[in-house]
Structures are given as structure tokens and as C-alpha cells.
């Protein structure tokens, strides 16, 4: 699959991979989107975080996790004692999927065909970065990495062995925390998220 994606040469760097992905037409999501939002961070990062797909602000900025979910993620990362600059941050799907509603663009969940179409990019990011720890944020990321349906509540917070000497680790998506209706649940779930991130960092130590 990687072979037909990248013809005869595999990119030797994430930067080269990102240049290739800028012209990706593997699924129809590229067309209404502003641009490909590729992963970013050090190629030698020990930790990789995988989200779902870029949101409205990421689509405009061309960078992952810079909008509201990204700001919450940044705060939790900091509280867990992790340096975001040292983390490679990416998404399962590299284009923003949305439905126009007036002037607004409403986020739509990527379906399995879009996750599958985008999977070679994530596979290449993993091959190049070879993280010791791969943190999956939410069910879409977990499906993209593990290739099956994952119930976050059942599998969160404990290491899942992956190929290539990588430990997988599942937790919630920060957008889930933003959507919680009451403050008490928000506080509780945010604390559990920070606890998961802290646990993930400790696995690296
Ligand atoms: N949500 C994601 O999953 N990824 C982003 O980059 C932004 C929001």
C-alpha cells in the first residue's frame, strides 16, 4: 500500500513526507478543505500523539491542535509534565471534514473509508519517528492505529504493545472534555485525562 502511494522512493524525512501529503488526493476530503494539516514535531520524538482530524482553526492555520481542543490539550500536557515541543503531534485524518452551515463549518466525523485512505501517511510517520510511546486521543485515533473498534473507557490508561517496540496508549480526545455539559463532570474527566497523560510520560522514564 505504501508502495503505490509513494511510487518508488520512500521519503527519508517527515518534512519530505509532509511535502508529498500536501498534494494528497487519496480521498475526497482535500477538495473543500483549505490544506493538508500534517503532523509536526521532532522526528526523533519519544512520544507521538494522534488525534482525529484537523478542526476549523487547524485547517486555516495548517497546523495540528491549535484551536480550542489544542489549547486544552496544551494545558493538560503541561500539567502532566510533558514538553509539547518534544512531542510529535499528528492526526489520523489529515484534512478537515465539515459541513457548511451559513458562515460556519461544522465538524463531521471521518468515516472508515477516509481513515483507511489516510492510513499510509500515519504509517509512514510512525516508520520515520519510531516513537517509544504512541498516545491515541479518542476512538478515531485508536481505530486508525489498532485497526479495530475501541471502547475508550475499557482500554484507556494502560499500555498496549504495538509493532516496532512502541507502546500504545489510549485516552479520551480533548474535544470530548469540551463537550461535557456540567462543570463537575468536566473537572473529573479533565483530571482523569491529565492522569492518563502523566501515566504515559512515566512509561517513558
Ligand atoms: N482535533 C483533532 O483531533 N486534531 C486537531 O488537530 C484538532 C482538533
CATH, residue 195? 3.40.470.10
Which H or E run contains 170?
Answer: strand 166-171
Number of domains in the chain: 1
Q: Is the CB of 110 under 6 A from ligand 1?
A: no
pLDDT higher than 80, residue 89: yes
Give residue 27 CA to ligand 1 midpoint distance, Å.
19
Is 90 a residue whose pLDDT tops 90?
Answer: yes
Q: 149: buried, middle or exposed (CB in 10 Å: 19+, 13-18, 0-12)?
A: exposed
Does the pLDDT value for residue 58 go beyond 70? yes
The pLDDT, as a whole number, for residue 87 is 98
CA–CA distance, 25 with 31 (Å, rounded to integer): 8
Task: Flag whether pLDDT at 4 surpasses 70.
Answer: no
Index of the ligand 1 atom closest to the CA of residue 89:
6
123-152 pLDDT per residue, tens: 999 999 999 999 999 999 999 999 999 999
For ligand 1, say whether the CB of 59 is within 6 Å of any of its atoms.
Answer: no
196 CB less than 6 Å from ligand 1? Answer: no
Share of the chain above pLDDT 90, in %: 93
Collapse the DSSP code of 11 into the 3-class scheme (helix H, G, I; strand E, B; otherwise coil) and give the result: coil
From 58, 87, 135, the mutation candidate for ligand 1 (largest count of ligand atoms within 8 A of CB) is: 58
Q: Please, what sign has the CA dihedral across residues 46, 49, 54, 57? A: negative
Query: Is the ipTM value over 0.90, yes or no?
Result: yes
Quote the domain boundaries for residue 141. 2-204
User: Is the minimum distance from the CB of 65 to ligand 1 under 6 angstroms?
Assistant: yes
Residue 194 clears pLDDT 60, i.e. is over it:
yes
Amino acid at each position: 500500500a505504501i508502495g503505490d502511494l509513494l511510487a518508488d522512493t520512500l521519503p527519508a524525512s517527515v518534512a519530505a513526507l509532509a511535502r508529498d501529503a500536501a498534494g494528497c488526493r487519496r480521498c475526497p476530503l482535500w477538495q473543500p478543505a483549505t490544506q493538508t494539516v500534517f503532523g509536526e514535531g521532532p522526528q526523533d520524538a519519544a512520544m507521538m500523539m494522534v488525534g482525529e482530524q484537523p478542526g476549523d482553526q487547524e485547517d486555516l492555520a495548517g497546523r495540528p491542535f491549535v484551536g480550542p481542543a489544542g489549547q486544552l490539550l496544551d494545558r493538560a500536557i503541561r500539567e502532566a509534565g510533558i514538553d509539547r515541543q518534544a512531542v510529535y503531534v499528528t492526526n489520523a485524518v489529515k484534512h478537515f471534514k465539515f459541513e457548511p452551515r451559513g458562515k460556519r463549518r461544522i465538524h463531521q466525523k471521518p468515516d472508515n473509508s477516509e481513515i483507511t485512505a489516510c492510513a499510509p501517511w500515519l504509517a509512514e510517520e510512525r516508520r520515520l519517528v519510531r516513537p517509544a510511546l504512541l498516545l491515541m486521543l479518542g476512538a478515531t485515533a485508536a481505530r486508525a492505529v489498532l485497526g479495530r473498534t475501541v471502547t475508550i473507557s475499557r482500554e484507556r490508561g494502560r499500555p498496549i504493545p504495538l509493532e516496532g517496540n512502541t507502546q500504545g496508549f489510549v485516552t479520551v480526545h480533548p474535544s470530548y472534555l469540551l463537550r461535557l455539559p456540567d462543570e463537575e463532570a468536566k473537572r473529573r474527566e479533565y483530571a482523569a485525562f491529565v492522569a492518563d497523560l502523566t501515566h504515559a510520560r512515566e512509561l517513558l522514564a
